[in-house]
Amino acid sequence: MTDLSTRARQILAELGAGDPFAEDGGLVATSPVDGSELGRLVAHTPAAVDATIGGAHAAFEEWRSVPAPVRGHLVRELGELLREHKEVLGELVSIEAGKIRSEGLGEVQEMIDICEFAVGLSRQLHGLTIASERPGHRMMEQWHPLGVVGVISAFNFPVAVWSWNAALALVAGDAVVWKPSEKTLLTALACQALAAEACRRVGAPQALSQVVLGDREVGEVLVDDPRVPLVSATGSTRMGKQVAPRVAARLGRCLLELGGNNAAVVAPSADLDLAVRGIVFSAVGTAGQRCTSLRRVIVHESIHDELVARLSKAYGTLSIGSPLEPSTLVGPLVDTPATEAFLGAVEQAQADGGRLVTGGTRADQMSGAVTGGQYVVPAIVDMPAQTDVVKRETFAPLLYVLTYAELDEAIALHNEVAQGLSSAIFTLDVREAETFLSAAGSDCGIANVNIGTSGAEIGGAFGGEKETGGGRESGSDAWKAYMRRTTNTINYSTELPLAQGVEFQ
């Protein structure tokens, strides 16, 4: 057993997940740090998933009648447990997803933040009171719990995405059945152990929060089951295009958070110090494996050379290596196909006339790579045009640079891709900033000024348009997706007037 495997087991035990491993299990938990096996687990059978959904549905029927502020106690408890165990859960995220320590901890902080948000929300799930056109009548709306929420999550935010969904769903009065990525099974079991403990502490039904492990087949049971009124799926656009029609076929609801191809416009007035820092964090942080990662820079031609030179210099100082080393900024890619996609895209971009400015290769041991892990040198490619490869999302630290002369042209290039998640403009010119944020500006769900595309706070609604899927998670009024609205008309008069002046007697 490797040190990482031993450490992962210790953490699971500490978080109350016991020893979930089975020698002959068909699912293999692996660490991107060195490609080593952490342990084997048994997948759920479709019948077991079906039974899990049944249990969750029964728990929902109980939970929906618990007052929302009391439901908040459960999420408050979950937040407390996360706060208590932030350090080790963050470490497990680093071991299993390959994030640097600071980002592993940041991800757990994001969970704590959404729990706090959801606890406050548990007293604010309000509907409107609406003026009725009829005398002696009142109209109002109520938000009621929806049912079992199926959560499908990706490897890159193995714990936070679940928490965005679970924290809101639980205060909304729903139950959650979670199918995590096959690449991040252990972090899911750790979260599940904490959720189960939170349920125990407040006396909530244990089946409110559950995890099912397995491949696509397991996900499909969730997707097809009419007892799951909402499927919240985070991952590739390809996955979303498979999930959405199946859920639609049974007239269920989907909340999709899919691929991004996020860009930053850098205008002539930009504070370049700020722009360089914002760009480097967004493009290279999490080794380019965030759905919000910056993939395209659209820079004004007058400052192109200076920006590229400064970015190239900053890239030259990046420390690549084990995400568990405190000095590392760039950890590994998740697996071999990710490296192949990175190298393939770098090659294609050059074949399209791009000039490789820096990086674009596997990292060798000299640069800190750990044997067995997929470490690459973050790349910048100067592109003559927005070719097909630029329009694709490559989940790796690969940044394309394009130039523009007029802002209209920059916005057109910006919006020309199929995805619509996050965007940014670096400018000190208020006209440019407001144009970018306007209806005729960025077509993304997230549009920022003078900060990068990644690293959103939980207080805002998170998600995007077009092939990003249209869903919104996390803050603002995203909670509404987890509830059903009823419109109520109450007659407190002795008459029965009909709306629209209809006479019927």
Residues 9-48 that bind ligand UN1 (CB under 6 A): none
What is the DSSP secondary structure assignment for residue 298, as one 8-state letter?
E
Smallest separation (angstroms) from ligand UN1 to the CB of 132: 42
Rounded distance between C-alpha atoms, residue 431 and residue 452, angstroms: 19
Smallest separation (angstroms) from ligand UN1 to the CB of 271: 22
Q: Which residue is nearest to ligand UN1 (CB)?
A: 456
Smallest separation (angstroms) from ligand UN1 to the CB of 106: 8
Question: Judged by CB, which is closer to ligand UN1: 63, or 157?
Answer: 157
Q: Is 290 in the site for ligand UN1 (CB under 6 A)?
A: yes
Task: Give the torsion through C-alpha atoms of 413, 419, 424, 430, to 10 deg.
Answer: 60
Q: Is 447 in the site for ligand UN1 (CB under 6 A)?
A: no
Q: Is 232 in the site for ligand UN1 (CB under 6 A)?
A: no
For residue 220, give the 3-state DSSP assignment. helix
Smallest separation (angstroms) from ligand UN1 to the CB of 320: 20
Q: Is 401 in the site for ligand UN1 (CB under 6 A)?
A: no
Residues 469-488 that bind ligand UN1 (CB under 6 A): none
Q: Is 165 in the site for ligand UN1 (CB under 6 A)?
A: no
Residues 182-211 that bind ligand UN1 (CB under 6 A): none
Q: Assess contact for 361 and 350: CB atoms under 8 A.
A: no
Please pick, from the candidates 323, 354, 368, 455, the single residue that binds ligand UN1 as defined by CB under 6 A: 455
Smallest separation (angstroms) from ligand UN1 to the CB of 422: 7
Measured in whole angstroms, the distance separating CA 189 from the mean position of its chain's CA atoms is 18
Smallest separation (angstroms) from ligand UN1 to the CB of 445: 11
Q: Which amino acid is at 138?
A: R
Q: Is 237 in the site for ligand UN1 (CB under 6 A)?
A: no
Q: Assess contact for 155 and 183: CB atoms under 8 A.
A: yes
Place of tokens 């629209």: 500
Question: Judged by CB, which is closer to ligand UN1: 225, or 393?
Answer: 393
Q: Give whole-number Cα distances, 305 to 131, 259, 278, 398, 402, in Å.
A: 60, 30, 18, 18, 11
Rounded distance between C-alpha atoms, residue 420 and residue 156, angstroms: 19
Is there a catalytic annotation at residue 103?
A: no
Selected range binding ligand UN1 among 2-10, 63-71, 156-164, 390-398, rule: CB under 6 A: 156-164
Please pick, from the candidates 94, 234, 322, 328, the single residue that binds ligand UN1 as defined by CB under 6 A: 234
Smallest separation (angstroms) from ligand UN1 to the CB of 36: 25
| Active-site hit among 257, 393, 467, 473 | 257
Q: Is 156 in the site for ligand UN1 (CB under 6 A)?
A: yes
Selected range binding ligand UN1 among 65-73, 88-96, 222-230, 450-458, rule: CB under 6 A: 450-458
Selected range binding ligand UN1 among 155-163, 167-175, 343-351, 377-385, rule: CB under 6 A: 155-163
Smallest separation (angstroms) from ligand UN1 to the CB of 105: 13
Tokens representing residue 274 in the block: 């700020």
Q: Is 292 in the site for ligand UN1 (CB under 6 A)?
A: yes
Question: Judged by CB, which is closer to ligand UN1: 77, or 443?
Answer: 443
Selected range binding ligand UN1 among 6-14, 46-54, 290-298, 336-344, rule: CB under 6 A: 290-298
Smallest separation (angstroms) from ligand UN1 to the CB of 93: 13
Total number of residues that touch ligand UN1 (CB under 6 A): 11
Binding flags for ligand UN1, 105-124, as an x/- string (CB under 6 A): -----x--------------
Rounded distance between C-alpha atoms, residue 136 and residue 134, angstroms: 6
Q: Assess contact for 64 and 151: CB atoms under 8 A.
A: no
Rounded distance between C-alpha atoms, residue 337 and residue 428, angstroms: 41
Q: Is 262 in the site for ligand UN1 (CB under 6 A)?
A: no
Q: Which candidate, 410, 465, 88, places its Cα nearest to that of 261?
A: 465
Q: Where are the beta strands (DSSP E) in 332-450?
A: 355-358, 379-382, 398-404, 419-420, 422-426, 446-449
Rounded distance between C-alpha atoms, residue 153 and residue 232, angstroms: 8
For residue 396, give the 3-state DSSP assignment. coil
Q: Is 468 in the site for ligand UN1 (CB under 6 A)?
A: no
Cα dihedral 412, 418, 420, 421 sign: negative
Q: Assess contact for 284 and 330: CB atoms under 8 A.
A: yes
Q: Assess contact for 210 and 178: CB atoms under 8 A.
A: yes
Q: Is 157 in the site for ligand UN1 (CB under 6 A)?
A: yes
For residue 376, give the 3-state DSSP assignment. strand
Rounded distance between C-alpha atoms, residue 278 and residue 102, angstroms: 17
Please pick, from the candidates 68, 456, 461, 478, the single residue that binds ligand UN1 as defined by CB under 6 A: 456
Rounded distance between C-alpha atoms, residue 53 and residue 464, angstroms: 29
Q: Is 454 in the site for ligand UN1 (CB under 6 A)?
A: yes
Place of tokens 């210790």: 10
Rounded distance between C-alpha atoms, residue 475 and residue 444, angstroms: 17
> Which residues are within 8 A (CB) of 111 and not within 5 positions of it... i.e. 6 or more apart?
79, 82, 159, 160, 163, 167
Please pick, from the candidates 199, 243, 291, 297, the single residue that binds ligand UN1 as defined by CB under 6 A: 291
Active-site positions read 257
Chain residues that interact with ligand UN1, rule: CB under 6 A: 110, 156-157, 161, 234, 290-292, 454-456
